[in-house]
Chain A
C-alpha cells in the first residue's frame, strides 16, 4: 500500500493556507512520524490521506487510487485514522461494541469481526473492560479503546494523531508492542506527534512540516542532530540528544541504550 502525494496545496474556506506544494511518498510497511509546530499542517495533511479533505491542487494517490474520486468510507478500508481526542469518536455503550464499530461499517463477516475485536482488546489490555461503558473509564482507557477500534479495522495504513498524549510510560510501551506487531504484518504506521523522545526512540523516518510546507523528510537522526533545522520547525532536540551534546559525545544518542553504549565506547 503506497501513498503518493503529488504537489498538493490546500486552503481552508476562511482563506488560511494549510498546505503548500507538498510532495512525498510513503511505502508499504514504513513507520513514519509527522512532526512540526502547532498549526504546521500535520493533521490537515493526514486528513488528505483518507479523503476527509481533498486538495485544492495536486493529487493524493492511495495505492494508485486518487482520493478525489473516492469517498472517505471507501478509503477507510485502506487508511484508518485515529483522532487525537478519543471522546470525539466513542459512540457505543460497551468497549467491545466501540471496537467493533469500524469493522461493522466496513462490512466484515461476523467471525472476522469477533476475531479482530478480541485481538484488539488483548493488544491494548482492555479485556477486563470489554463490557464496561467507555465513558465510565479513565482517559487513558478511553484512548486505548479508540486506538483498539482503529487497529480492529485491519486497514493496511494506520494513522495515529498524538497517540502518546495522556498515556503513562507503561501504556506507551504497550503501544510500542502494538506497533511492532503491526510492522510484522507489514502495515504502514504514520504517527503525528510532538513527543520528540518517542519519535527519536521509535520511528524510522520523520516528515517535518512548518507553515504548511515540508522542510525535512528523512531519517530521524538527521533531523535531531541539526539544530538550525530544529529551530525552524519549532522543535526541541530529544533529551538523549541534548545529553549527548552536553557530554560532548562523538555522536548524538537517540535512546538511553544508545547513550550508554556511546559512553562505554
Chain B
C-alpha cells in the first residue's frame, strides 16, 4: 500500500475530489496545448499541492527514480535526432544539439511531471479502503468498489512476496545480481511463483469473500466514513466541467 498515514488537508479530501483533480491536471497538461511557460505554472501548482499535503520527501524520491532514466534517454535522443530539429543550439565534437528536440523533450517531461505528481498526490494520501467505500457508495455496488480499490490493497503484500521469493531462489543458488543477461535469466524463477501465487491468491480471496456473505443483497453496514461536503461536490463538478470544456475550446479554436 502506497498510502502514507499523516494528518494533512490533502488526506482529508474526498477520494473523488482528488481523482477529479488528477483528471483535470492530465487534461490541462495534454489536451489544452499549454506552452512551456504555462506548463511550468501547472507543475509548480502540483508541487505546491504535494508540499502542502506533507508528502514532499517521499514524492521527490519517487519522481527522481522515475524521471532520471527518462531525462537521460529523452533529452539526448530528441536533442539530437528529433525529425523537427532545425535550429542548432550548440555542438560538441561534431555532435549537434537542436532547440526543437530539446523543447519537445522538455515539454513531454513537464507533461509527465504534472500527471505523475498529481497521481502521487492521490495515491499517497488516499487509503484504498476509503476509495473502495467511496466507489461502493457512489455505484451502489460493493463489488465495483472492491474491484477498483483492491489492486491498491494488494501492492504491499505483493512487494513483500517478491522479497520472499527472491530470498527463496537465492537460497537455492540463483544469482539475481550481476550483468543484464544474468538478471534477465533470473526473471523467470522470480516472476513465475509471483504470478501463480497471485492467481491462486485471487481465487482464494474471492472464495473467502463469498463465504463471508460479500455478495448478499440488501443494506450493508459500513464502519468507515468518507467525509464529503457541498463545497467539495461543487468543486468536483467545476473541475470536471473544466476538464471537458478546456480541451474542447482548444480543439475547436
Chain B residues whose C-beta falls within 8 Å of the C-beta of A47 in the assembled complex: 167
- Are A102 and B173 in contact, with the CB atoms below 8 A? yes
Q: Is B156 an interface residue (CB 8 A)?
A: no
Q: Is A68 an interface residue (CB 8 A)?
A: no
Q: Give the residue of B172, B175, B188 whose beta carbon is less than 8 angstroms from that of A89.
A: B172
Proximity bits, B36-80, A CB within 8 Å = 1, else 0: 000000000000000000000000000000000000000000000
Q: Is A72 an interface residue (CB 8 A)?
A: yes
Proximity bits, B197-225, A CB within 8 Å = 1, else 0: 10010000000000000000000000000
Q: Is B193 an interface residue (CB 8 A)?
A: yes
Roughly how many angstroms separate A80 CA and B192 CA in the complex, as a whole number?
Answer: 21
Q: Which of A120-158 contact B (CB under 8 A)?
A: 135, 149-150, 153
Q: Is B189 an interface residue (CB 8 A)?
A: yes
Q: Is B168 an interface residue (CB 8 A)?
A: yes
Across the two chains, which residue of chain A brings its CB closest to B196?
A135
Roughly how many angstroms separate A83 CA and B197 CA in the complex, as a whole number?
Answer: 15
- Are B173 and A88 in contact, with the CB atoms below 8 A? no
Q: Which of A75-122 contact B (CB under 8 A)?
A: 76-77, 80-81, 83, 85, 87-92, 101-102, 105-106
Q: Is B161 an interface residue (CB 8 A)?
A: yes
- Are B168 and A73 in contact, with the CB atoms below 8 A? no
Q: Is B141 an interface residue (CB 8 A)?
A: no
Q: Is A165 an interface residue (CB 8 A)?
A: no
Roughly how many angstroms separate A47 CA and B172 CA in the complex, as a whole number?
Answer: 13
Chain B residues whose C-beta falls within 8 Å of the C-beta of A135 in the assembled complex: 196
Roughly how many angstroms separate A102 CA and B169 CA in the complex, as a whole number?
Answer: 8
Count A-side interface residues using an 8 Å CB cutoff: 26
Roughly how many angstroms separate A89 CA and B177 CA in the complex, as a whole number?
Answer: 18
- Are B168 and A88 in contact, with the CB atoms below 8 A? yes
Count B-side interface residues using an 8 Å CB cutoff: 21
- Most central of B173, B177, B190 by chain A CB within 10 Å: B173
Chain A residues whose C-beta falls within 8 Å of the C-beta of B172 in the assembled complex: 76, 80, 89, 101-102, 105, 149-150, 153
Q: Is B237 an interface residue (CB 8 A)?
A: no
Q: Is A52 an interface residue (CB 8 A)?
A: yes
Q: Give the residue of B173, B188, B189, B190 whose beta carbon is less than 8 angstroms from that of A106.
A: B173
- Are A71 and B175 in contact, with the CB atoms below 8 A? yes
Q: Give the residue of B167, B173, B188, B197 whose beta carbon is less than 8 angstroms from that of A105.
A: B173
**What is the distance, in angstroms, from B161's C-beta to the closest C-beta of chain A?**
7
Q: Is B183 an interface residue (CB 8 A)?
A: no
Roughly how many angstroms separate A150 CA and B169 CA in the complex, as a whole number?
Answer: 11
Roughly how many angstroms separate A81 CA and B169 CA in the complex, as a whole number?
Answer: 10
Chain A residues whose C-beta falls within 8 Å of the C-beta of B171 in the assembled complex: 50, 52, 72, 76, 80-81, 83
- Are A73 and B200 in contact, with the CB atoms below 8 A? no
Roughly how many angstroms separate A83 CA and B175 CA in the complex, as a whole number?
Answer: 17
**What is the distance, in angstroms, from B143's C-beta to the closest C-beta of chain A?**
27
What would 18 A/B residue contacts be, using CB atoms closer than 8 Å? A50-B171, A52-B170, A52-B171, A72-B170, A73-B175, A76-B170, A76-B171, A81-B171, A83-B164, A87-B193, A88-B197, A89-B169, A91-B190, A91-B192, A101-B189, A105-B173, A105-B174, A106-B173
Q: List 10 A-B pairs, minimum CB-CB distance, nearest first.
A: A105-B173, A76-B173, A102-B172, A89-B168, A91-B189, A81-B171, A72-B170, A91-B192, A83-B168, A88-B168
With A85-B164, A92-B192 given, can you name 17 additional A-B contacts, CB distance below 8 Å?
A: A47-B167, A50-B171, A52-B170, A71-B175, A72-B170, A81-B171, A83-B167, A88-B165, A88-B197, A89-B169, A89-B193, A91-B192, A91-B193, A101-B172, A101-B174, A105-B175, A150-B172
